[in-house]
Structures are given as C-alpha cells and as structure tokens.
Chains A and B, each alone.
Chain A
Amino acid sequence: MQQPRVDILFEHAPSARVLIGGAWRIGENCPRAEATINQLQALHGLEIVRLETQDLMHWDSLLLTYIRALSQFCDAQQMTLDTRGLPEGIQGLLMLAAAVPERQDASRQKNPDDWLSVLGRHTLWLIKDIGLLADFIGEAILGLFRLLGGQSQMRWSDFWRLVEACGPHALPIITLISTLVGMILAFVGAVQLKLFGAQIFIADLVGLGMAREMGAMMTAILMAGRTGSAFAAEIGSMTVNDEIDALKTSGFSPMDFLVMPRILAMLVTIPLLCLYADIWGMIGGALVAAGLFDISASEYLIQIQTRLRLIDFEVGIGKSAVFGILVATAGCLRGLLCQRNASSVGLATTSAVVTGIVYIVISDALMTLLVTALNLYKR
C-alpha cells in the first residue's frame, strides 16, 4: 500500500504542477489541502495550477474535497486551475459538484447570540406561550358550555376509555411513589423531632404535608409524565398524519372531540388519585414511625385524627384538580401545535411534560399564597 502524497513542482514561472499519487482514501493519512495551499501561497508569480496524477491507486471523496478546496483557493486568488490531468471520473464528479452554484441564502446563517437577545427571545416566547395556554383554556371553557348545553360532539365512550387510562392504570406507580414520599417526610422530620423527644408529631408532619401539599403535587407530576405526555404524543402524531385536518374537514371540532374528553377524564380522576396518594403517604409515614421511632400504628392514627381536618384534604384535592386541568391542557395544546414531522412529536411530548411541571409549581405557589391569605386553616 502506497502512502498518499502530493508533490509541488514549480519549474517555469507562471505555472506549477501539483502531482497527486498513492492511495487517497478516507482512513489513510492523506495530505491536507491547507498545507498545499500554504505552499502554493509561498510561490511568487504563480498564475496557473495544473493538477496531475502520478501513480494514483485509489481515491474517494476525500480527494475530491481536497481538490475542491484547491479550486476555491484558486478562484479566490484569481488563478487558473487546470484539472485536465486528472482521471475522467474525478473530472466528471467535480463538474457535477460545480454545476449548480452555491445558493447564498440556502446555507442559513445564524446570528451570533449574545445573552441579552437570548433572554429577550425567551421572555417573548414565554409571554406568547402563557397567552396561548390562556386562549386554549378559554376555548376549553366554551367547549364545556357546549357540553353542558348538549351541543358538544364529545363521545362519552372516549371519555370512559380515557378515565381508565388516566386512573386505574396509574395506581401502581402512585402507590409506590407516595408511600416513599411519606416515608421520606417522616424520616426527615423525625430526626429533628427526636431531639426534643417529640416523635409523636411525625404523624402531624406527614399527615399535613401529604394532605395539603405533597399528595397533590406528586400525583400531578406523575400525571404530567404519564398522561400529559401521552396526550401530547397521541394528538401530535394525529397532527403529523393530517388526522386533525381530516377531523376538521369532516365537521368535528378537535376541541370537542379530542381535548374535552381528555381534560374531563383528568379532572375526574386526579382528585381521587390525590386522595389515594394522601392515604399511602400516611401509611408510609406510619411504617417509618413504627419501625424506627417506636410509635405504634394506633398512636399514629389517633394523632392524625386529632390533628387533620377536612379542610386540609379539601385544599389538597382542590389543588390537584387545578393541576390536572393544567397538565391535560398543556398535553393537548402541545400535541395540536406540533409541526408536521416525526421528530416534532418527540419535542411536543417533552415540552408537554416540562411545561406541565412548570405550570404545576407556579400555580401551587400562587394557590398556597391564596390559601394563606384567606386564612383557610384557621381553627
């Protein structure tokens, strides 16, 4: 196997010969165009570059890119590049590559991004996004009125199928996560409470924490990952496949037909799931209390019964309903806004989960403020 090589002969003043030889293939240690160009630049009075081959054995696209680089250099320096000494195959391919001139606007140029413009763009995007979501929720409310007025095209069979997908199928994962969250709450709290010999208040901590906050929050986050993403993927692939257009032209409103059953199914199931998560969280807390801190199950239960009131559960469940609406809306909206290509379904799904979770946390902060301001927990 012969090494690929390039020799430059500058015998008579205006023209130089570039002799290309050896095996020019991707993977071989081929000479680089920049090196040759540097050498050519050093020659004074050079006007014509003749490319010739000498014992050239194999060649592939690598040689072509090398010659193209030389050719661009010659164009820029207004020299003549003579390729007649090359094999016909190479000449043919070079002609093919040069047949259509490069379109200036085709290779899109990206403006260099300074942080200010990135910040600005993202802010505008976020404002637009919140506007879109608000519009969409508004439309959903109109859809709800149509449903109440018996004008909706929603099919109850879709609704029941979705209730099954949102609810019972989510139970195993919710059981696992909420039990563990209950255990974590109990453990973190108990280590501190034990310093004062007040372990019994583990029950208060876990009970209030799960009922008011964590039950709703964990359920909503799980639903965003499990169901919001599924909504976005289902509706997104329908968008890509023109199925949404087909619905519209068959006289169906995607809002009534696809979005309403999903929002309603989520709205019906999530409070139940939240209550279920509350209970398992408290069971998780009881396990830690009994196992590590010597509090019997009956003590724990009595403590929870004296401390927790209905309003604690009501606040959590109310929050979960709001989260459910946000998660379902974000999923459906992302699916409907999906671009018409396959990779955009993935983007829509990711974005549904991310926006779902962001809206959960933002709305939770607002609702917690509201509940405190209204003094709902007052005894």
Chain B
Amino acid sequence: MLTPSTTPHPPDLSPRQVHISVRELTMAYDDFMVQKDMDFDVLRGEIFIIMGASGCGKSTLLRHLIGLKPPVTGEVFFDGQNLWKLPPKERQSMLLKMGILYQSGALWSSMTLAENIALPLTAHTPLSAKEIADLVSLKLALVGLSGFESFYPAEISGGMQKRAALARALALDPEILLFDEPSAGLDPISARRLDRLIVHLSESLGITAVIVTHDLASLLDIGTNSVFLDTETKTIIAKGPPDMLLRTSTHPTVKEFLTRGQSKRTATSAREASR
C-alpha cells in the first residue's frame, strides 16, 4: 500500500541519478520487428523526449516501459531494479509509481472525473472517503479543472479530457509521468498550456517525465534529453538534448525531422522561436 502525501519523494539533489534504464531492448509484434538494440538512460527529474516518425514504435516503447508488453530481448530497469524480472506483486507496486497519460486520454467513460481519480486511491490507499474527496479536488485544481468533479469525460472538451487524465495520472503521486503524444488533437494554445503544466509539475514535484511526441515546438521547448527512433534502421539513431540535436546532428533523417525538412534559415528561426 502506498501512503500518499503531497510530496512523498522530495526532488533529488544529485542530478545525475539514473531513474530509468533501457538495455538492448528489442520490441516486436509476433514476427514483425518494431525496434531493436535500444539503449538509453533517463535521469531523475528529466523531461525526456521519445521522438520519431509515426509508426516507428514510440507507443510500443511506452508499453514496454509501463509493463503492458514484455520485451522480446533486453531489459528495463527502474531505480536499478529489473522490471520484467521482479515477481508480479512487486512489479505491480513498481508500476503504481508511474502515472500514465494515454494518447486518447483513456478516462473511464462510465465514471465521472471525480470517480476516475478516486478509483486508484480507493484501491491502493487506506484513505477515508473524505480524504479521497479532498485529494480529488486538489488534483483537479492542479490541472485547472476545479468544479468539474461530477462531469463525465464525454461532457468536456478534448483539452480538458487530457488535463483530467493528467490529474488521474497524478492521483497516486507518481515518481514518473509518461505521456503518449500529449498535444495530439489539441489546438496550439491548449497544447502549450499542457506543456507548461508538465514542466511545472515536473519541477515542483521532482517528477521524471517521459514524453512521446512529434510536436516540434513542444519538444524543443521543454525537452531536456531525448532519443530518436528511426523507421528505416529500426533503432535509435540520435540521443541528446533536442535543441542540441537540432544544432549539431548530422544525420539526414534527424535533421529533416527537426527542421520539418525545411532549409537552414527556417531551422534557425524555429530554434529562435523556441527559446
């Protein structure tokens, strides 16, 4: 059982502590290979971007990180513990330290927003109904949805659904937040607000954020580190802070991706805009 408090894990002071490591990970659906030999580390408190073209396997990688799909070969470590070698009980409690924002939001459509956020709390904490209601209203307030407790997911806009899903992901005070294309389907302003919210939460709660995205403005803006998955070679072809990749990467695919296949001039102005 977890006992949530407002800050169960204070921001880590040694910035070089590795939080998630992926080692020689190969992913496949039956005999269809998606990506192979993936190696990377995510440091505590980082905003880590997984980027790549559509269909390159970003969502699939996320499913491996959150314990929904076992790897073909290779390992995933959290805090040095091998996710897929743990006994199921311990793996489950490790996964509860992660909050996940799915591409579609994935709020439980038959429940109100309050029930959505309360469900993990009722199941995994010994809190009373009153305490849970307080926590629910706090989480909704954090994402700017105070007063929407009794709305059903279908009754609010797409941007609000994403934020409500973020509130649910925050329910158990996770150490890691994982996002699958948070800005997909949002207008630029809502997408921007969500980005800001992610940065804010990760800074003030010391959360490690892993974000799958191909929204250039957003990844150049908030990403502190990244990997680039390639569809052709089926492996990681670039690693590093996104803005550094934009400046220094010589790989044509990475360059084309980060500059939208445009000339050097527009690339520079995009960089300027993102500052």
Contact = CB atoms under 8 A, between A and B. Distances in A.
A251 B123 contact: yes
A301 B109 CA distance: 50
Interface residues of A, number: 15
B106 A245 contact: yes
Contact of A242 (B67, B92, B98, B106): B106
Given A238-B109, A251-B92, A251-B95, A246 B102 contact: yes
Contacts of B254: none
A344 to B, nearest CB: 15
Contacts of A237: 109
Contacts of B103: 242
Contacts of A251: 92, 95-96, 120, 123-124
Given A238-B109, A241-B106, A251-B95, A246 B100 contact: yes
Contacts of B109: 237-238, 241, 243
B119 A250 contact: yes
A242 B120 contact: no
A248 B68 contact: yes
B104 interface: yes
Contacts of B100: 246, 249
Contacts of A247: 108
Contacts of A241: 104, 106, 109
Nearest to B69: A245
Interface string B83-113: 0000000001001101010111011111000
A79 to B, nearest CB: 35
A112 to B, nearest CB: 23
Contact of A243 (B92, B106, B120): B106
Interface residues of B, number: 22
A136 interface: no
Nearest to B108: A243
A153 interface: yes
A237 B120 CA distance: 21
B49 interface: no
B98 A249 contact: yes
Contacts of B168: 246
A187 interface: no
A262 B104 CA distance: 26
Given A153-B123, A250-B120, A251-B123, A242 B104 contact: yes
A359 interface: no
Nearest to A153: B123
A59 interface: no
B66 interface: yes
Nearest to B111: A243
Contacts of A248: 67-68
Contact of A245 (B68, B110, B120): B68
Given A251-B92, A251-B96, A246 B108 contact: yes
Interface string A229-272: 00000100110011101111111100000000000000000000
Nearest to A250: B120
A250 B106 CA distance: 12
Nearest to B66: A249
B123 A246 contact: no
A319 B109 CA distance: 35
B68 A249 contact: yes
B117 to A, nearest CB: 10
Interface centre among B103, B119, B168 (most CB of A within 10 A): B119
A249 B100 CA distance: 8
Nearest to A161: B110
Interface in A254-295: none
Nearest to B100: A249
Interface in B114-138: 119-120, 123-124
B232 to A, nearest CB: 14
Interface in A50-102: none
A108 to B, nearest CB: 14
Nearest to B165: A246
Contacts of A234: 110
A247 B104 CA distance: 14
A20 to B, nearest CB: 36
A251 B95 CA distance: 8
A153 B122 CA distance: 10
Nearest to A234: B110
A203 B169 CA distance: 63
A58 B218 CA distance: 46
Nearest to B171: A250
Contact of B123 (A242, A243, A249, A252): A252
A250 B109 CA distance: 15
A291 B29 CA distance: 65
Q: Which of B96, B98, B106, B124 has the most CB of A within 10 A?
A: B106
A340 to B, nearest CB: 10
A245 B63 CA distance: 9
A36 to B, nearest CB: 39
A238 B102 CA distance: 13
A173 B123 CA distance: 38
Nearest to B68: A245
25 contacts: A238-B108, A238-B109, A241-B104, A241-B109, A242-B102, A242-B103, A242-B104, A243-B106, A245-B63, A246-B100, A246-B102, A246-B107, A246-B108, A247-B108, A248-B67, A248-B68, A249-B66, A249-B67, A249-B68, A249-B95, A249-B98, A250-B123, A251-B92, A251-B95, A252-B119
Given A249-B100, A251-B96, 8 more contacts: A238-B108, A238-B109, A241-B109, A242-B104, A243-B107, A250-B119, A250-B123, A251-B120
Q: Which 8 A-B pairs have the closest CB atoms?
A: A242-B106, A242-B102, A246-B106, A250-B120, A243-B106, A249-B100, A249-B66, A251-B96
Interface of B: 63, 66-68, 92, 95-96, 98, 100, 102-104, 106-110, 119-120, 123-124, 168
